[in-house]
Amino acid sequence: MTDFISIQEAMNKGSGEVSIRGWVYRERGSNNIKFVVLRDSSNILQCVIKKDDFSDDKFQEAVSVQIEASMEITGTIKKDERAPTGYELSVKEFKIIGASDTFPITKDQSPEFLLDKRHLWLRSRKMTAILKVRSTYIQARDEFFRNEGFYRFDAPILQPSQCEGGSTLFEVKYYKEKTYLSQSWQLYAEAGVFALEKIYNMGPTFRAEKSKTSRHLSEFWMAEMEAAWFDLKDVTEFAKKEIKYCMKKVCEERIEDLKLLGRDSQKLLEIANKDWPTMKYREALKILKEKSKINISFGKDLRTIEEDELMKHFNTPVVVTHYPKEVMAFYKPKDPKNPDEALCFDMLAPEGYGEIIGGSQRSTDVKEMTDELRKQGESVENYDWYFDLRKYGSVPHSGYGVGVERVVAWLCGLDNIKDAIPFPRTMLRWKP
């Protein structure tokens, strides 16, 4: 049995005999020599197969190797400044495990073509780097919540009613009835906190977004938390702590991947170490008016352009609280001190990445919530179970949801949110 090591481990070793396995990233050759750059999940390495070292038949095998063929290779590794990653392997033995047809992806292909071939494009160095950042971020978040004493709590994906407005619901045939795909874990989490007090999860989330933007997916992963006894201030500070923790982990562990994506982990780390401002929506309007000459009257949600304009004045994330009550979801309570404001918040990312978190304290006013749902044309009976939660020992509680792909897109500096998820779903794309 051969002992295979990863390409990165082989380069760390730097000399002597090693056995590696992976896929052909690039290949070129002449009559006497064949260069194969092999790729595995850790890195790439140039391997040289010389005609003189093999029988004619065996060398012909090497000549026939195409991009993305899988191979096992044994040879001697040494430093070589001319090689793409600074090392070269002189091949003693090789075996083709799976030959490859001519790979359909070549240079300079359109984003749409790459999405059609997504199952193959995932192997690219760019996608591999993004997927690693995503994985590190998600694992760091899990670690954060466990350190903070939270329990993981799961909610149904098939839900009988809306949480974030009926217009973006995906309807599903449910035996002889109809139901909907989850827009949020939240309403069920509000039941969970009365048992577990501090809970979190991360789950697939669905929104039938009718707009085509670089920030919206129809299926995305929302990373939510809910905690009993937390008020708006507690939850906004906690959100900053969570994102900072995850950023630091990603910056420590994914330096090379961030670099490959054109991101400077040091700069991101500096952002994570700064204080992030919290301001009321009314103050945000003032900044827009004074610094950007944009006049918005109180009572409207911030649109993408206004968010972007506001964030031009900041180089860290900003928490905006107290949005106008009348345009907010039914469960966001009014501020007793200013009834036209809701006890809610968004966290906005810098560099034009927009809203990454939405959250709030939760209303305990059943009448107000009922009226609001009725106004939206909802069947209020569907929420009876939710209102029960306010009847049996209700306590102040709060929570929020992080858009996983929005955070990944920001950390990786992506042009489009579609690259932050392996197989994106949008209004126009649901395949492969």
Our finding on whether 359 is near ligand 4AD (CB under 6 A) is yes
Report CA dihedral (182, 187, 193, 196) to the nearest 10 degrees.
-20
256-281 as b/e: b if 16+ CB within 10 A: ebbebbebebeebeebbeeebebbbb
Least distance from C-beta 220 to ligand 4AD, angstroms?
Answer: 4
Nearer CB in complex with ligand 4AD: 25/331: 331
Distance CA 263, CA 141 (A): 21
Among 199, 357, 411, 412, binds ligand 4AD (CB under 6 A): 357
Least distance from C-beta 346 to Mg ion, angstroms?
Answer: 6
- Using the Cα atoms of residue 359, residue 364, residue 367 and residue 368 in order, give the sign of their dihedral: negative
Interacting stretch for ligand 4AD, rule CB under 6 A, among 17-25, 52-60, 217-225, 334-342? 217-225
Determine whether 32 is exposed, middle or buried from the number of CB atoms within 10 Å of its CB (0-12, 13-18, 19+). Answer: exposed
Nearer CB in complex with ligand 4AD: 91/402: 402
Q: What are phi and psi of 108, to 5 degrees?
A: 55, 50
Least distance from C-beta 56 to ligand 4AD, angstroms?
Answer: 56
Our finding on whether 421 is near ligand 4AD (CB under 6 A) is no
Interacting stretch for ligand 4AD, rule CB under 6 A, among 58-66, 119-127, 151-159, 396-404? 396-404
Our finding on whether 234 is near ligand 4AD (CB under 6 A) is no
The number of residues that bind ligand 4AD (CB under 6 A) is: 22
Quick one: which H or E segment has residue 255?
helix 255-260
Nearer CB in complex with ligand 4AD: 136/162: 162
Dig out the tokens for 366 from the structure: 């059943």
Interacting stretch for ligand 4AD, rule CB under 6 A, among 228-236, 244-252, 304-312, 400-408? 400-408
DSSP state of 420: G
122-148 as b/e: b if 16+ CB within 10 A: eeeebbbbbbbbbebbbebbbebbeee
Least distance from C-beta 354 to ligand 4AD, angstroms?
Answer: 8
Nearer CB in complex with ligand 4AD: 59/331: 331
Among 9, 53, 197, 355, binds ligand 4AD (CB under 6 A): 355
Distance CA 269, CA 244 (A): 9
**Scanning the structure block, which residue is given the tokens 């999405």?**
115
Half-sphere exposure of 132 toward its Cβ, with a 13 Å CA cutoff? 22
Query: Site residues for ligand 4AD, window 147-206 (CB under 6 A)?
Result: 163-164, 184, 186
Q: Parallel, antiparallel, or unpaired: how do β-strands 397-403 and 354-361 relate?
A: antiparallel
Distance CA 198, CA 153 (A): 9
Least distance from C-beta 145 to ligand 4AD, angstroms?
Answer: 14
Interacting stretch for ligand 4AD, rule CB under 6 A, among 3-11, 78-86, 139-147, 356-364? 356-364
Least distance from C-beta 421 to ligand 4AD, angstroms?
Answer: 9
Dig out the tokens for 35 from the structure: 């260069």
Our finding on whether 22 is near ligand 4AD (CB under 6 A) is no
Our finding on whether 399 is near Mg ion (CB under 5 A) is no
Distance CA 372, CA 367 (A): 9
Binding site partner of 276, from ligand 4AD, Mg ion, none, Cβ cut-off 5-8 A by kind: none
Least distance from C-beta 391 to ligand 4AD, angstroms?
Answer: 22
Distance CA 170, CA 357 (A): 22
Least distance from C-beta 409 to ligand 4AD, angstroms?
Answer: 9
Least distance from C-beta 176 to ligand 4AD, angstroms?
Answer: 29
Among 25, 220, 230, 386, binds ligand 4AD (CB under 6 A): 220
Beta-carbon contacts of residue 89 (< 8 Å; ≥ 6 apart): 10, 18, 20, 38, 45, 46, 47, 48, 73, 75, 76, 77
Query: Site residues for ligand 4AD, window 401-420 (CB under 6 A)?
Result: 401, 403, 405-406
Beta-carbon contacts of residue 305 (< 8 Å; ≥ 6 apart): none
Among 358, 359, 399, 401, binds Mg ion (CB under 5 A): 358
Q: How many residues does the chain have?
A: 432
Query: Site residues for ligand 4AD, window 195-214 (CB under 6 A)?
Result: 207, 209
Site string (316-355) toward Mg ion, x via CB under 5 A: ----------------------------------------
Distance CA 258, CA 248 (A): 13
**Residues near Mg ion, by CB under 5 A:** 358
Q: Summarize as ranges the residues that interact with ligand 4AD (CB under 6 A).
A: 163-164, 184, 186, 207, 209, 216-217, 220, 222, 224, 355-359, 399-401, 403, 405-406
